[in-house]
Amino acid sequence: MVGRRVTQRDIARMTGVSQATVSLVLNDRADSGVRIAPETRQRVLDAIRETGYVADVVGRRLADRSNRILGVFTYEPVFPSAAADFYHPFLIGIEERAEELGCDLLLFTSTPVVDGRRRLFEGDNRMRLADGCILLGRSIDRIELERLVAEGQPFVCVGRRDGERVPYVGADYATAVGALVRRAVAMGHRRLAYVGTGGPAESHADRLRGFAEACLSTGVGGVHHTRLDRAVRGDFTAILLEEPADAGEAIAALEHHGKPEVSVVALGEPTRKPATPAPREMTRFRTPRREMGWQAADDLTALVNGSAARQRLLPCELVDGVTLSAVHH
């Protein structure tokens, strides 16, 4: 057998069993109804280990519709990936769960960039090389999501997405922002500003919605500004930042305008390198990025195995920090 690939037939011949028995041992099919004696199973496993046999994933896919490969597609580039990179914890969670499930990961990187963004269905689409695909990106093309749903391709988005039939694992940003607003109100704040786009990305829309709903329910004034300088010049006691990378700039600008008492709250983790590092530990919430990646891999595997698509939001953890202070009247 030197010089050619070892096959299941070779393993069967070496161990004196049928090729079907080798297949059952390889796939660990306890639900097949066929009982394999422990000594026979061990003899087959020993032969597999001694010969270095590697399963034919194409043949296995034809047999059970699964090659145990999960695809990962990113709408934004994620390399090089440093420890502080925003997407790194998502990928760690995906990798950890895939390893536990006995699956390999296939990162799709060859899709072309159109109008500054990667496109899933442009050019040679290789998604079907994997059993299903995990989609990463702050903003995902809705037309492509609709096409994935219509074609019945298994996929799970990391991050909440609009659409009743779009499976996702997201962070409960609205609840986390609302909790920070109520904490600020309990400390005497009555004039709050939200700084950020507020959309169109769902993660931004959810943050703004949580802010608006919490301000309304607590009866305090809440204003949305898209520009930081306007919030700094305004009559506010607390500023909530959609992009935490702006925290250092916000604190410096407030001190420059003689308003060091104004509180600054960060809504998550920075998605880019701060131009001005924050001088103090921020009051903020922590996005469960690692857990989201882990759960996305788990849900995708369940989807491939016939389970229904799921939409779920994971809670964010509040971090006290020192940048939210009580208002002294």
The per-residue pLDDT for range 81-115, each reduced to its tens digit, is 554 588 889 999 999 999 888 888 988 876 656 66
Pairing of strands 117-118, 155-158: unpaired
Listed in order, the ranges of the chain carrying CATH 3.40.50.2300 are 69-171+289-316, 173-286
Average pLDDT over residues 143-157: 89
Per DSSP, helices labelled H in 65-172 are 88-101, 142-151
Residue 1 has pLDDT above 80, yes or no: no
Cβ burial 9-22 (10 Å sphere, 16+ → b, else e): ebbbebbebeeebb
**Separation of alpha carbons 131 and 216, rounded Å:** 45
Q: What is the largest CA-CA distance in the chain?
A: 88
Write out the CATH class of domain 173-286: alpha beta
Least confident of 36-45, 190-199, 304-313: 36-45
Residue 260 or 81, more confident: 260
> What is the structure's pLDDT at 301?
92
**Contacts of 182-187 spanning 24+ positions with Cβ under 8 A:** 182/214, 182/218, 183/318, 183/324, 184/238, 184/263, 184/265, 184/324, 185/218, 185/220, 187/324, 187/325, 187/326, 187/327
Decide if domain 69-171+289-316 falls under CATH 3.40.50.1980.
no
**Separation of alpha carbons 167 and 298, rounded Å:** 12
User: What is the dotted CATH code of the domain comprising 8-55?
Assistant: 1.10.260.40
Listed in order, the ranges of the chain carrying CATH 1.10.260.40 are 8-55
